[in-house]
Amino acid sequence: MHFHAAIDILPLPGLLDPQGKAVTNNLPNIGLGQLTNVRIGKHITLDIEADTREDAERLVGEACEKLLANPIMERFEFRVFTAEEAAL
């Protein structure tokens, strides 16, 4: 069966995020000082070939832990869905 995954990876709360800080500091310069506390991570999409949804979720979790996220500095969350569910 064919599934899709959408993964969000963000710097752990409390850890410095220099890129987010730089954006936060510059938003007032373009008239957007109402926006604060910017944190920048990664958004990853991918396709999965697996027998069941549980298998698909296990594979995505493994990819996050082994390759996509750095568990020392980042947390991740993801959802797995079929093409039909994506259309809803």
Per-residue binder mask for its own copies (CB under 8 A), 2-31, x = binder: ---xx-xxx---------x--xx-xx--x-
What are 45's two structure tokens?
């999409």
Told to check if 45 binds its own copies by CB under 8 A, we report yes
Told to check if 85 binds its own copies by CB under 8 A, we report no
Asked whether the beta carbons of 44 and 9 are under 8 A apart, the reply is yes
Backbone angles phi, psi at 26, to 5 degrees: -100, -15
Rounded-to-integer distance, Cα 7 and Cα 43, Å = 6
Q: Give me the residues that bind its own copies (CB under 8 A), please.
A: 5-6, 8-10, 20, 23-24, 26-27, 30, 32, 34-50, 59-60, 62-63, 66-68
